[in-house]
Amino acid sequence: MQPKHKILVIDDEEVVLDSCTQVLAGPDCQVTTASNGAEGLRRLEEVQPDLIFLDLKMPGLSGLEVLERIRAKHPLMVVIVITGYATVSSAVEAMKKGAFDFLPKPFAPEELRLIARRGLDHSRLVQEAVALRREQEMLRENFAAIVSHELKSPLGALQQNLYALVDDLEDRLSEEQKQRFAHLKTRLDDLLKLIHSWLRVFSVDINRLKDTFKPVGLGEIIAKAVENVQPHATRKALEIETTVAPGLPRINGDEGSLTEVVTNLLGNAVKYSFPNHKIRVRAEAQNSDVLVSVADTGVGIAPEDLPHLFLDFSRGRAQPEGVGGCGLGLAISRRIVEVHGGSIGVESQPGKGSTFTVRLPAAQAVSEPGPPRQNKV
Partner 1 sequence: MSEPKRLLVIDDDPDFVAGIKAILVKAKYAVDVAYNPKDGLQALKDKAYDLLLLDVMMGRGAEGIMIARKLGKDPKLRDLPVLIITGIREQMAFLFPGQAVHPNFVAVDELVEKPIEPKLLLEKVAHLLKTAEARKAAAK
β-strand 51-55 against 78-83: which pairing, if any? parallel
* Interface of this chain with partner 1, residues 203 to 232, rule: CB under 8 A: 203, 205, 208-209, 211
Beta strands across the sheet bearing 101-104: 29-34, 5-10, 51-55, 78-83, 101-104
Report, in Å, the least distance between residue 203 CB and partner 1: 5
Q: x-or-dash pattern for partner 1, window 334-373, by CB under 8 A? A: ----------------------------------------
Report, in Å, the least distance between residue 292 CB and partner 1: 21
Report, in Å, the least distance between residue 139 CB and partner 1: 13
Q: Should residue 163 be labelled a site residue for partner 1 when binding is judged by CB under 8 A?
A: yes
Label residues 89-128 b or e (16+ Cβ within 10 Å = b).
ebbebbeebbbbebbeeebeeeebeebbeebbebbeebee
Measuring CA to CA, which residue among 105, 93, 88, 30 is closest to residue 67? 93
Can you tell me the distance from the alpha carbon of 166 to that of 171, in angstroms, rounded to the nearest whole number?
A: 9
- Identify whether the C-beta of residue 173 lies closer than 8 Å to the C-beta of residue 166: yes
Q: Which of 74, 97, 152, 280 touches partner 1 (CB under 8 A)?
A: 152
Report, in Å, the least distance between residue 131 CB and partner 1: 18
Count CB atoms within 10 A of the CB of residue 178: 13
Q: Should residue 160 be labelled a site residue for partner 1 when binding is judged by CB under 8 A?
A: yes
Measuring CA to CA, which residue among 242, 316, 322 is closest to residue 275? 322
Closer residue to partner 1 in complex, CB, 212/349:
212
Q: Should residue 313 be labelled a site residue for partner 1 when binding is judged by CB under 8 A?
A: no
Geometric angle at alpha carbon 282, from 276 and 284, rounded to 5°? 170
Q: Should residue 131 be labelled a site residue for partner 1 when binding is judged by CB under 8 A?
A: no
Using DSSP's 3-state secondary structure scheme, residue 41 falls into: helix
Count CB atoms within 10 A of the CB of residue 310: 22
Can you tell me the distance from the alpha carbon of 16 to that of 34, in angstroms, rounded to the nearest whole number?
A: 11
Closer residue to partner 1 in complex, CB, 190/205:
205
Question: Per the omega criterion (within 30 degrees of 0), is the bond before 231 cis?
Answer: no
Report, in Å, the least distance between residue 211 CB and partner 1: 8
Q: Should residue 320 be labelled a site residue for partner 1 when binding is judged by CB under 8 A?
A: no
Q: What is the amino acid identity at position 260?
A: E
Report, in Å, the least distance between residue 257 CB and partner 1: 9
Q: x-or-dash pattern for partner 1, window 252-291, by CB under 8 A? A: ----x-----------------------------------
Using DSSP's 3-state secondary structure scheme, residue 290 falls into: strand
Count CB atoms within 10 A of the CB of residue 377: 13
Sign of the dihedral through C-alpha 325, 281, 259, 310: negative
Window of 15-23, 198-206, 215-223, 308-316 that interacts with partner 1 by CB under 8 A: 198-206
Report, in Å, the least distance between residue 27 CB and partner 1: 39
Q: Which of 60, 106, 109, 154 touches partner 1 (CB under 8 A)?
A: 154
Q: Should residue 87 be labelled a site residue for partner 1 when binding is judged by CB under 8 A?
A: no
Q: Should residue 157 be labelled a site residue for partner 1 when binding is judged by CB under 8 A?
A: yes
Q: Which of 33, 35, 159, 259 touches partner 1 (CB under 8 A)?
A: 159
Closer residue to partner 1 in complex, CB, 126/209:
209
Interface with partner 1 (CB under 8 A), residue total: 29
Q: Should residue 164 be labelled a site residue for partner 1 when binding is judged by CB under 8 A?
A: yes
Cβ burial of 231 (10 Å; 0-12, 13-18, 19+) is: exposed
Closer residue to partner 1 in complex, CB, 209/285:
209
Cβ burial of 279 (10 Å; 0-12, 13-18, 19+) is: buried
Half-sphere exposure of 183 (CA within 13 A, CB side): 6
Report, in Å, the least distance between residue 117 CB and partner 1: 38
Window of 69-77, 160-168, 239-247, 271-279 that interacts with partner 1 by CB under 8 A: 160-168
Q: Should residue 156 be labelled a site residue for partner 1 when binding is judged by CB under 8 A?
A: yes
Residues of this chain that interact with partner 1 (CB under 8 A) are: 141, 144-145, 148-149, 152-154, 156-168, 196, 199, 203, 205, 208-209, 211, 256
